[in-house]
Amino acid sequence: MKKISSLFIFLFMCQSVVFAQETKITVREDQNAPKISKHIYGHFAEHLGRSIYDGFYVGDTSAIPNKEGVRTDIIKALKEIQIPNLRWPGGCFADTYQWKDGIGPQEERPTMVNSWWGGVTEDNSFGTHNFLNLCEELGAEPFISGNVGSGTVKDFADWVQYTNHPAGSPMAKLRKENGREEPWNVKFWGIGNEMWGCGGNMTAEYYANIYKQYATFMNASENNENLYRIAAGATGDDYHWTEVLMREVPKSLIEAVGLHHYAVIDWKAKGPSTNYTEDIYFKSMKEALKMDEFVAGHIEVMEKYDPENEIDLAVDEWGGWYEVEEGTNPGFLYQQNTMRDAMIAGATLNIFNNHSERVKMANIAQTVNVLQAQILTEGEKMILTPTYHVFKMYTVHHDAKLLPVAFDSPEYTFNGESLPAISVSASKSEAGSTNISLVNIDAQKEHKVEIDLEGMDVKKMQGQILRSGKIQDHNTFDDPDKITIKDFKDFNLKNGKLSMVLPPFSVVVLSSKK
């Protein structure tokens, strides 16, 4: 009996080896494929908690090294990930913000209560000039989200004129009096935020009319011919909202429709940011991967009214949302950032890349100290999160031409439910580099993949990987480099076939080299 049992075990092991799954991925060039807009890799800075004050902005008298009050270590970090655009001042805060309170001598600016986020009083020391000068320093396009909910059309039009009119107008004169001679020429404008909720609890039909009014009066000068107007879009699968905007707003008044979606397992019990179980992790990834369904659904609606693809989809808020860290203000939305966040970031960015024919902009929420942040600060200390490192790895895709991929993903199965374990996107840069980003969200299993690059003329590749020992791992102020980007060499390229094993919960990016 013992011999039979041993033989059975041996045969079972052999069978397991023989039938071990290998995922076949095909990457091909397509002359009709779109460019992956760098603006998909946009960011978001709201007046919320410690995002602006005690995050970006410490003031020009701070002992922390700064430039015009903005931390130089944050500036350096954001330059390294080639931040393409930055959305400000909100979020829900945008529809309470009176921009004229944030210009002129700081000591003369009125204070305000941030009624949405923590009830704190702000002194308006960080305003339009601070933000736009920061964007210039970063080499990033500013994306201003304007006040529709509690503002007026004139307020909005004045703001456009203040930032963009060259000379001879009242707002250009005011700008010069406040120390800025040349206009900033702000291109990206959000017309309100979440108008179905904190922006005014409007119906889609009502907002469509309001939108048209604001969009009409934005043209303050000849500099505004190239304004990029973004309508406050739907949340999740509210396809009716998108349908109304596409049907009711003339193409001459709109450049993009927004969309928001957060990976939240339950709005009443979001779960912890670090000490979570695999069950919570699985549910988080299930919510994150719904982004593909929602983006595809809204694109389908848009194509009914815009088959020429003239209006873009802008996912201007996305990311993971959990319970705040213990002992912090619940209204400040401060949470840690683990390998789960790296999985959400990598998989979501792959989704956007693969829908880049219509998705031209996205903004992760948020940049510093709020929600799925790239950067966390504590006094003079600063740490870069796993999400930051994913954005750095994915810079190879900025403005590169999409390379369509085809494959059937293996499954990540937990408690009888399954999700696609592997996410992939690929691109080719203007310099000719072929770039492939892969994410394995499986918390337990490695997955073997073979990528068919036939006809791509790829002879050498170099790789990077982001991984750690536990899915809950994260960087701390005592251990800021626990998770960092490492070289990845465990792959084989032969006869146009690229093979490798993706470790559990890992992000890998490979780029060809001459």
Residue 293 is among the residues annotated as catalytic for this protein = no
The residues facing 463 across adjacent strands are 488, 510
CA dihedral sign of residues 94, 98, 104, 108: negative
Per the CB < 8 A criterion, the answer to whether 368 and 457 are in contact is: no
pLDDT digits (tens, 9 = 90+) for 421-450: 999 999 999 999 999 999 999 999 999 999
| Nearest one of 138, 130, 158, 135 to 146, comparing CA atoms | 158
Cβ atoms of 509 and 394 closer than 8 Å? yes
Residue 469 · residue 475 · CB < 8 Å: no
Q: Where are the domains of the chain?
A: 14-31+404-512, 38-399
- Reading the block at residue 373, the tokens are 């942040």
Pairing type for strands 411-414 and 417-420 reads antiparallel
Give me the pLDDT at residue 2, please.
Answer: 41
Output the six-digit token pair for 34: 């779109």
Question: In CATH, what class is 14-31+404-512?
Answer: mainly beta
Q: Do the Cβ atoms of 404 and 93 come closer than 8 Å? A: no
Extract the tokens encoding 211: 């939108």
For the record, the structure tokens of 421 come out as: 């374990």
Task: Give the phi and the psi of residue 453 in degrees, each rounded to 5.
Answer: -115, 30
CA angle 205, 213, 249 (to 5 degrees): 50
The rounded mean pLDDT for the chain is 94
Catalytic residue among 194, 205, 300, 450: 194
Secondary structure (3-state) at 278: helix
Q: What's the CA dihedral at 92, 98, 99, 103 to 10 degrees?
A: -130
Count of beta carbons in the 10 Å neighbourhood of residue 296? 13
Common-topology check for domains 14-31+404-512 and 38-399: no
User: 243-295: per-residue pLDDT in tens?
Assistant: 999 999 999 999 999 999 999 999 999 999 999 999 999 999 999 999 999 99
**What is the CATH architecture assignment of 38-399?**
Alpha-Beta Barrel (3.20)
Q: Per-residue pLDDT for the chain (514 aa), expressed as one digit of tens each?
A: 344 444 433 333 443 333 347 999 999 999 999 999 999 999 999 999 999 999 999 999 999 999 999 999 999 999 999 999 999 999 999 999 999 999 999 999 999 999 999 999 999 999 999 999 999 999 999 999 999 999 999 999 999 999 999 998 999 999 999 999 999 999 999 999 999 999 999 999 999 999 999 999 997 555 556 899 999 999 999 999 999 999 999 999 999 999 999 999 999 999 999 999 999 999 999 999 999 999 999 999 999 999 999 999 999 999 999 999 999 999 999 999 999 999 999 999 999 999 999 999 999 999 999 999 999 999 999 999 999 999 999 999 999 999 999 999 999 999 999 999 999 999 999 999 999 999 999 999 999 999 999 888 898 999 999 999 999 999 999 999 999 999 999 999 999 999 999 999 999 999 997 6
What are the beta bridge partners of residue 499? Answer: 450, 492
Residue 141 catalytic? no
Instruction: Please report the pLDDT score of residue 15 as a whole number.
Output: 39
Contacts of 136 by beta carbon, 8 Å cutoff, 6+ apart: 184
How far is residue 373's CA from residue 371's CA, in Å, rounded to a whole number?
6
> What is the predicted pLDDT for the residue at 16?
36
Q: Which pLDDT score is estimated for 11?
A: 38
- Cβ atoms of 318 and 363 closer than 8 Å: yes
Give me 166's structure tokens.
């060259």
Cα atoms found within 13 Å of the Cα of residue 189, Cβ hemisphere only: 29
What local confidence, expressed as pLDDT, does residue 224 receive?
A: 55
Strands 461-466 and 486-488: antiparallel
Question: What CA–CA distances, in Å, run from 426 to 41, 109, 330, 405?
Answer: 15, 49, 39, 7
